[in-house]
Amino acid sequence: MTLLQTPSRPPATQHTSALEDAHAQLAAAVADLGYDEGTHAMLSKSRRELTVSIPLRRDDGSTQVLTGYRVQHNISRGPAKGGLRYSPQVTLDEVRALAMWMTWKCALLDVPYGGAKGGIALDPRQYSQAELERITRRYTSEILPIIGPQQDIPAPDIGTDERTMAWIMDTYSVSKGHTVPGVVTGKPLSLGGSLGRASATSRGVVHIANAALRSEGITVAGATAAIQGFGKVGRDAARFLTDDGALVVAASDQYGAVHNAAGLDIDALGAHVDATGSVVGFSSADPLPAGELLELDIDVLVPAAIEGVIHEGNAANVRARIIVEGANGPTSRDADAILASNGVLVVPDILANAGGVIVSYFEWVQANQSYRWEARDVETRLEERMLAGWASVNSHAAAHDLTLRAAATRLAVARVTEAHRLRGLYP
């Protein structure tokens, strides 16, 4: 694979931080629900945060020390659950926000977990496979006391994949003296991974996109879409939308964007990305300034990359009818208000991208029972849960005149607080 471009990171796209956005969403839900300040404080704080130093012997013999985090936001409804991110932007505050969103996501979709997230501040493209394996194994050893199939179960996120999960599972299993497949999800199939997990987040995004289109009276076949991010979530979301007859007219990654008004050939674009490392330079499309992808006149925008990309500086320019948040936290709180007043339907991350953790739950159940489900069982149950989540958020929003994000957060926060109350951890 040759990659000649350098990343064209959008300058200062993030006007509020992910943690500020997460706290603002929680504060609004707490106020709506009439909870007291003590409850608010309990829900704002992580239950456990671990920062670890990861000494790495590089292939050239030098030594580098990386920093990693694992944050468990809440464990009132079950073991902590959430992905592991390898990105240069990772900070403790970002991981705190992502862990809190996991708590709400699991509660909203009634998956019996709390919320967690992990991260290591590094650019995986700057390290060899052998170095990434050493980093992952050392990070796992450092967080080993707080993970486990009944404690905290990592999964892939930005910059990590099934191979990363295999290294975590092996390191954990070696420490226990026996194989423990339930300690991670998103594993390779041959190590007890679930059929359908790799594409689950994208499938869930597309179930929700289709439901949202129908609710707005837009026919899926022929609807136009743009996808920011062409990684594990964005790429398959583009493929499934295309399979359903939508026209995916633009796609991007951190190097740039491409556009074709007649619809991108997603298989050909995927082959181009596999060969070059980027969507940039795809010959069957025109180059597009990356920021313009967010402002195209389309039916559905799927941000599937990072946080804070739709903010107070560009929200008023968004012309999509619907935003389906494949990424976690792509819309800032200021942008939310602007989009709502402009009539843009925003389907929040904690609903829209929940397909991943739903099938992670199925994978964990299969691992714990040493039994494999058929792909059709996984996919049918995933669709049922996504559509049930969509229905409950919509009816709550309609009944209380709330945005979908406010409704989803309120439902989730109420379920987590109820669990605390029932357990007696909270008077």
Ligand X SMILES: NC(=O)C1=CN([C@@H]2O[C@H](COP(=O)(O)OP(=O)(O)OC[C@H]3O[C@@H](n4cnc5c(N)ncnc54)[C@H](OP(=O)(O)O)[C@@H]3O)[C@@H](O)[C@H]2O)C=CC1
Confirm if 299 and 218 have CB atoms less than 8 A apart.
Answer: yes
**Cβ closest to ligand AKG, residue 257 vs residue 367:** 367
Among the listed residues 83, 115, 231, 330, the single contact to ligand AKG using CB under 6 A:
83
To ligand AKG, the closest distance from the beta carbon of 217 in angstroms equals: 30
**Options 117, 176, 187, 232, the catalytic residue:** 117
According to CB under 6 A, which residues from 356 to 385 bind ligand AKG? Answer: 356-357, 360
Q: Own/partner pairs for 27-34, CB < 8 Å, 24+ apart?
A: 28/406, 28/409, 29/406, 29/409, 29/410, 29/412, 29/413, 29/414, 30/413, 32/400, 32/402, 32/406, 32/410, 33/410, 33/413, 33/414, 33/417
Scored b (16 or more CB within 10 A) or e, 317-341 reads ebebbbbbbbbbbbbbbbbbebbbe
Residue 30 and residue 28: Cα distance in Å, rounded? 6
Check the annotation: does 252 bind a ligand: no
**Cβ closest to ligand X, residue 77 vs residue 105:** 105
To ligand AKG, the closest distance from the beta carbon of 386 in angstroms equals: 13
In which element (H, E) is residue 271 found? helix 266-276
Question: Is position 117 annotated as part of the catalytic site?
Answer: yes
Check the annotation: does 45 bind a ligand: no
Among the listed residues 68, 79, 82, 326, the single contact to ligand AKG using CB under 6 A:
82
Among the listed residues 21, 94, 152, 157, the single contact to ligand AKG using CB under 6 A:
157
Scored b (16 or more CB within 10 A) or e, 63-91 reads eeebbbbbbbbbbbbbbbbbbbbbbeebb
Q: Is position 313 an interface residue for ligand X (rule: CB under 6 A)?
A: no
Number of Cβ atoms within 10 Å of the Cβ of 212 = 23
Please name the residues in contact with 301: beta carbons below 8 A apart, sequence gap of 6 or more: 225, 226, 228, 294, 318, 320, 322, 323, 324
Confirm if 186 and 193 have CB atoms less than 8 A apart.
Answer: yes
Which residue has the CB atom at the shortest distance from ligand AKG?
83
Residue span binding ligand AKG (CB under 6 A) among the ranges 4-12, 79-87, 89-97, 134-142: 79-87
Binding mask 93-122 for ligand AKG (x = CB under 6 A): ---------x--x-----------------
**Cβ closest to ligand X, residue 228 vs residue 332:** 228
Q: Is position 185 an interface residue for ligand AKG (rule: CB under 6 A)?
A: yes
Q: Is position 389 an interface residue for ligand X (rule: CB under 6 A)?
A: no
Residue positions annotated with a catalytic role: 117
- Return residues touching ligand AKG (CB under 6 A): 81-83, 102, 105, 155, 157, 185, 328, 353, 356-357, 360
From the annotation, which residues make up the binding site for NAD(+)? 201
- Return residues touching ligand X (CB under 6 A): 9-10, 156-159, 201, 228-234, 252-255, 278, 290, 304-306, 326-328, 353, 356
